[in-house]
Structure 1
Amino acid sequence: MEQRQDEQAPLPCANGCGFFGSADTHGLCSKCHRNSLHQAVAPASSSSAEHGAVAAAVELPVGDGAQLPPATRAKTKSRCAACGRGVGLMGFECRCGGVFCGAHRYSDRHDCGYDYRGAGRDAIARANPVVRPDKVDKL
């Protein structure tokens, strides 16, 4: 019974980070073991990535002076436009084009530049066309 306790006694991490390691991870804690795996994989993948970049550069055909458009990153909609708080999956999109959290989703809670009054007038004008009477020619 004493042997089992000695075998199961936690050992400090071999990197000295303050956590306990295990024999399965070669005396490292889970975080140090994960970092060591990433460091072991990173040099191998970077050399293959450089080789792939060189091969891709060689295969690009030279056009007749036309340049490729610069790559733009898609704007993430995971932050509130007013406070910067994360909105997650339930972000509220306003008519002004911003994405807002639950506290700033209404137009009076953020600086909304959308003209609701003008949009309402336009909607009514489209829904109710002007009816003009015919001239008095029918008499």
Structure 2
Amino acid sequence: MAEEHRCQTPQLCVNNCGFFGSATTENLCSRCYRDLQLKEQQASSAKLVLNQSIVAPPKNSPAVAVVAELSSSSSDPVALPSVVAVEEKAEEKPLKQNRCMTCRKRVGLTGFKCKCGMMLCGTHRYPEQHDCEFDFKGLGKEQIKKANPVVKGEKLEKI
């Protein structure tokens, strides 16, 4: 058996990509075999999603509506899961501020978030530098009022 293994000549991939295939991967190279498995997995998940949306669609779900529209017009089941994933990602992605609101300089991780809600660079982080409209004095008064409640002693009865 060891002699048979040594005598075999390597075969090129069936897809003619230039790499060598093997009998265990259906005469495909590792990349083409992985792509084939991925397509089969997407097709099976698309059928599952399509069957679930036909049987019991959740209320107010835009992703299911897109799947239902595409399933009636498109005959390619592989494209359906990618559309659903794009719809879900678009809804969840929050808007990031990564520039100084005063000078528009990119701040990245070193940005400072002011109490007025603006993202600022190191130069404009102080309230005087960016014309901050936040009421720091009022905030301080409220904090002092909460930390130091008014304590009054009971009046003594006069004898």
What TM-score does the superposition give when structure 1 sets the normalisation length? 0.51
Superposition pairs of residues 82-97 of structure 1, within 5 angstroms: 82-97=102-117
Q: 2:137, 2:114 → 1: CA distance? A: 15
Q: 1:85, 1:128 → 2: CA distance? A: 42
1:121 matched to 2:141? The reply is: yes
Q: 1:59 to 1:114 in 2, by over 3 A?
A: farther
In the alignment, which residue of structure 1 is the partner of 2:30? none
Deviation at 1:80, TM superposition (A): 1.0
Deviation at 1:133, TM superposition (A): 1.9
Match of residue 46, structure 2, among 37, 55, 72 = 55
Deviation at 1:77, TM superposition (A): 2.9
Q: 2:106, 2:52 → 1: CA distance? A: 40
Gapped runs of 5+ residues in structure 1?
A: 1-43
SS state of the match for residue 157, structure 2?
A: helix
Structure holding more helix per residue:
2
Query: Residue by residue, what CA displacement relative to the aligned partner does 1:11-56 show, whole Å, maximum 9, x if unpaired?
Result: xxxxxxxxxxxxxxxxxxxxxxxxxxxxxxxxx9xxx7xx77x928
The 4+ residue runs of structure 1 with deviation greater than 4 A are: none
In the alignment, which residue of structure 1 is the partner of 2:4? none
Matched residues, number: 89
Q: 1:103 to 1:60 in 2, by over 3 A?
A: farther
Deviation at 1:60, TM superposition (A): 5.7
SS state of the match for residue 84, structure 1?
A: coil
Percent identical: 35
What TM-score does the superposition give when structure 2 sets the normalisation length? 0.46
Instruction: Please provide the CA RMSD for this pair.
Output: 3.0
Q: 2:52, 2:132 → 1: CA distance? A: 46
Superposition pairs of residues 1-139 of structure 1, within 5 angstroms: 55=46, 58=50, 61=53, 62-63=57-58, 65-67=59-61, 71-137=91-157, 139=159
